[in-house]
Structure 1
Amino acid sequence: MPATQKTLRTALLTAVGLFCTVIMIFPLYWVIASSLKNTVELFRTPPTLFPMQIDWTPYIANFIQNQDMLHYMGNSLQIALGTMLLSLVLAAPIAYALARLPIRGKNVFLFIFLVAQMFPSIMLALPLFVMFTRIGLVNSQLAVILAVTTRTLPFAALILRPFFLTLPRELEDAAFIDGCTLWSAFYRIILPLSRPGMLTVAALTFLMGWSDFLFPLTLISDDTKRPLTLGLYKFISEYGSRWNDLMAVSVVAAIPIILVFIFAQKYITSGLVAGAVKE
């Protein structure tokens, strides 16, 4: 390929990539810009691309004067961390067993995990509500953690299994020779070597727990126990929406998600790639 043609192609692909990036980032920018506009400017026609006068009132009102949103964020953090820990504790042994042990019907279990991810959460909400009502777990964060884990567990197991398959069996054989049992070899040898995969699952399940809306809506009625996803609905009523407050809280709610991706990006990428090498 001639150098001129190659340069033109590179420039064209770069322009297309930049255009797609702008299209994807623009909604996030619009949320941030709208949170800094006053009510008059927010409904101005035509809309302004940049805030003419920055207004910090929504942030001050919702996070300093009234700290309800901080309480909701604390509840969301507990649910997200609980979902992450429970998913890791359950998914790691399941994935390891499916990767290493000679289990009959192993493909059936994998098929069930795949099918379980296809069911919408709304199909699980009512049965879980009935079950948790009978055992007295309704209106608790534990109920939400267990409910969200029903969605994250199949996903986590399917992510970790191919990653365990990439580890050589000789590592466990050497551990058995040194006197390790299957469980001690798993916890002492396999898990430390599986850190990228574990961090990948930890980050993704944390985000699933942080952003879930349906299960908290179904299982929690006490306002003091609601997560931020439900707290946002305080700004939406039948008479209108308080867009300034809604946008400001949405910006703050997105910060943990952005931080997780910034600090775990390397592990997420390497974990997903490593898990895709061998099946």
Structure 2
Amino acid sequence: MSTQQKSSQTLLLTALGLFCTAIILFPLYWVIVSSLKNTVELFRSPPTLFPLQLDWSPYIDNFVQNQDMWHYMGNSVQIALGTMLLSLLLGTPIAYGLARLPVRGKNVFLIVFLVAQMFPSIMLALPLFVMFTRMGLINSLLAVVLAITTRTLPFAVLVLRPFFLSLPRDLEDAAFIDGCGLWTAFYRIILPLSRSGLLTVATLTFLMGWSDFLFPLALISDDTKRPLTLGLYKFISEYGTRWNDLMAVSTVAALPIVLVFIFAQRYITSGLVAGAVKD
């Protein structure tokens, strides 16, 4: 292939990549633009790609004059952080044990985790509601964290296990010779080398906890305990939808997700592909 053909192919692939990126990002752009339009322009036909006059009132009404959304965001942060920490606390030793220890029925456990990933959340909502009702955990953030962890824990194990498998056993053998026990070697040797895998799981489980809607809807009826995903429903009623407010709050709700991916994309990419060629 000549140099000119390679340049043409590179240019074509670049243009295709930019086009696909624009299509993917356009919904986010439209949400932001719609949040800055007034009601008249919002329903204008044909629609405008950029506001003719910026209207900041939805942001002022929902984040300055009314503090409810900040309270919902605080609940979302607690749920997301709790889900992330619990998934790492439980998933990391389980994944390490399945990767390194001679566990009987190891493949059965892996199949169970894989099948658990396939179950839709709606199938777990009712059993968890009944169980948490009997335990007195309904209308608590802890119940939501535990419910979401049923989804994130299998994911954490399935991501971390191949990562641990990719690390050479010689590192642990050297630690054992130096007098380290299993847990000491795991804590001092394996975990520092698994930073990218742990950050990958931490980031994705945080986002799962932040964006979950079904479990908070099923387990929380107290308005003071609702996360931001449920707070958005205040703008939707049988009489209509307050699109300006909904788009403004949705923009703020999406901001943490965008920032997390911007700063953690390098670790997410390396963490997801680590150990992919070793089983």
TM-score tier after normalising by the smaller chain length: over 0.9
Q: CA deviation at 1:267?
A: 0.9
Q: CA deviation at 1:171?
A: 1.2
Please list the CA deviations of residues 192-236 of structure 1 after superposition, one character each: whole Å capped at 9, or x if unmatched: 111110000000000000000000000000000000000000000
- What secondary structure is seen at the aligned counterpart in 2 of 1:139? coil
1:116-265 to 2 correspondences below 5 Å: 116-265=116-265
Q: Distance in 1 between matches of 2:275 and 2:41?
A: 49
Q: CA deviation at 1:175?
A: 1.4
Kept in 2, the 8 Å contact 1:95–1:157? The answer is yes
Task: Output the amino acid matched with 1:202.
Answer: A
Stretches of 4+ aligned residues off by more than 3 angstroms: none
Q: Distance in 1 between matches of 2:46 and 2:268?
A: 41
Q: Distance in 2 between matches of 1:189 and 1:5?
A: 49
Pair 1:74 & 2:74 matched: yes
Kept in 2, the 8 Å contact 1:160–1:275? The answer is no
Who is 1:89 aligned against?
A: 89
Please list the CA deviations of residues 32-83 of structure 1 after superposition, one character each: whole Å capped at 9, or x if unmatched: 0000000000011111111000000000000000010010000000000000
Task: Output the amino acid matched with 1:121.
Answer: S
Q: CA deviation at 1:269?
A: 1.1
TM-score relative to the length of structure 2: 0.98
- Structure 2 unaligned segments of length 5 or more: list them: none
Q: Distance in 1 between matches of 2:8 and 2:162?
A: 40
Task: Output the amino acid matched with 2:88.
Answer: L
Q: Distance in 2 between matches of 1:9 and 1:206?
A: 39
TM-score relative to the length of structure 1: 0.98
Please list the CA deviations of residues 107-147 of structure 1 after superposition, one character each: whole Å capped at 9, or x if unmatched: 11111111100000000000000000001011100000000
Kept in 2, the 8 Å contact 1:145–1:209? The answer is yes
Aligned length: 279
Q: Distance in 1 between matches of 2:61 and 2:217?
A: 25
Kept in 2, the 8 Å contact 1:80–1:209? The answer is yes
My pick for the range that moved more, 102-111 or 174-183, is: 174-183
Q: Distance in 1 between matches of 2:128 and 2:17?
A: 44
Kept in 2, the 8 Å contact 1:159–1:275? The answer is no
Task: Give aligned-pair identity as a percent.
Answer: 83
Q: Distance in 2 between matches of 1:189 and 1:2?
A: 49
Q: CA deviation at 1:164?
A: 0.3
